[in-house]
Amino acid sequence: MTARLRRSPAASPLDDDDLLCEILLRLPPQPSSLPRASLVCKRWRRLVSDTGFSRRFRLRHRRNPPLLGFFDRDLSFSPTLEAPNRVPPGRFSLQRDDDDDDRFVPLGCRHGLVLIYIPARLQILVWDPVTADQHYIAIPPAVAACPGKARINGAVFRAAGDVQHFQVVSVMAYGDDHQHRRALACVYSSKTGLWGDPISTPLPYRAVQADAISVPTLVFADDAVLAGDSLHWLLAGNFNGILEFDLEKQRLAVIRLPEEVNCLKLVRAEGGGLGLLGRSVTNCMTQLWKRESNCDGVAPWVLGRTIDLDRILSVKPELKGTFAGATAILGLAEDNNLLLLWTITGLVVIHLESLKFKKLFRTNTFFQYHAFEGVYTAAVPFFSLM
């Protein structure tokens, strides 16, 4: 009797862990993606919970992270996504000592990290809300020499292709003589655990009338904008301009604003360059400007377009001409190119390119918000939130 050969079932391509990981890496970077994938089976859960997979997932979606929400001045989190991607406010809560009464001043968010200044301790805190990691850093000696004379600002970021380490740029304007003030910057690297050498540049001075009050030039208390290879902050006071820190050349420079516009907010222009949202001094219309380099290496300001926010937000006729009922621009999500506005109907986010907007929630108060954009990779801890 001829024995029959039993065929083994053909192996499925999904039996290969490497191939399956490549497929899972292409899931959308929404908070619910990896938790849902981990529910399929123990094998999928093991793969998406691996730290190496998490790093690859964050790198792949680095350029298109979702806007998870906003942190306010008290570091309270307000989510913006709908279920099942909505992160509950309590999930991103900074754990502090019970007897900790020090004031924590948020300076901005970027690449899934929150930068916080603690004046009483002369420290900077880099906090990862997803992993709850906290890194306390003493401010650089050059900055600590005059903490009471200048406001400290800064920015945090991760270098391209590196999700394990971060860098912090601390900036300030200093000098008792208003005519000879300077800007100072120092860079901290988590890879070395050290601050680099201080970098400074003189700040322009605008002559004022003898009886006028002279206000020193300061680095404005607003989030930095990362455009190209440079970080940018608004300067306010005696001189209104932009402080630019070139991350590649490690150099500070001052950029003048176009004279025909009052700058309201620095933004990232189409193509990734530096832009600004301003109000025309002649007709009070909202305008988008951008810098464009020419063949001579000069980067003049060019008017991109004019935006009628009154019409876009469809406010009542009696509110026409009042910046769409908004009294302030409260924040910018630079990777998503979204502005956060306060209006009489509540908080609104508007996309600067498509001009589509979404109402968030009503509030009678307004203050600066810091957009938290990041790729949520903590698959297991998210289960309890769904």
Q: Which amino acid is at 119?
A: P
pLDDT at position 378, please? 63
Query: From CA 251, how far away is CA 361, in angstroms rounded?
Result: 41
Secondary structure of residue 14 in the 3-state scheme: helix
Query: From CA 326, how far away is CA 370, in angstroms rounded?
Result: 18
Global pTM value: 0.87
Measured at the CA of 97, the angle between CA 96 and CA 99, to 5 degrees, comes to 130
Secondary structure of residue 281 in the 3-state scheme: coil
Residues ≥6 apart with Cβ < 8 Å to 322: 310
Please report, in tens digits, the pLDDT of each residue of the chain (386 residues total). Answer: 445 545 455 556 667 889 999 999 999 999 999 999 999 999 999 999 998 998 899 889 988 899 999 999 999 999 999 989 998 888 899 987 766 778 999 999 999 999 999 998 999 999 999 889 999 999 999 888 875 556 899 999 998 878 889 999 999 998 888 888 999 999 999 999 999 999 999 999 887 656 556 788 899 888 999 998 999 999 988 888 999 999 999 999 999 988 878 888 999 988 888 999 888 767 667 888 888 776 666 678 888 888 877 677 665 554 455 444 555 788 999 999 998 988 777 788 888 888 888 888 777 767 889 999 988 776 544 443 43
Burial class (CB in 10 A: 0-12, 13-18, 19+), 272: exposed
pLDDT at position 386, please? 39
| Domain locations in the chain as residue ranges | 104-256
Query: From CA 294, how far away is CA 285, in angstroms rounded?
Result: 27
Contact 342/331 with Cβ under 8 angstroms?
Answer: no
Q: How many Å from the N-terminal Cα to the C-terminal Cα in the chain?
A: 60
Query: From CA 61, how far away is CA 111, in angstroms rounded?
Result: 11
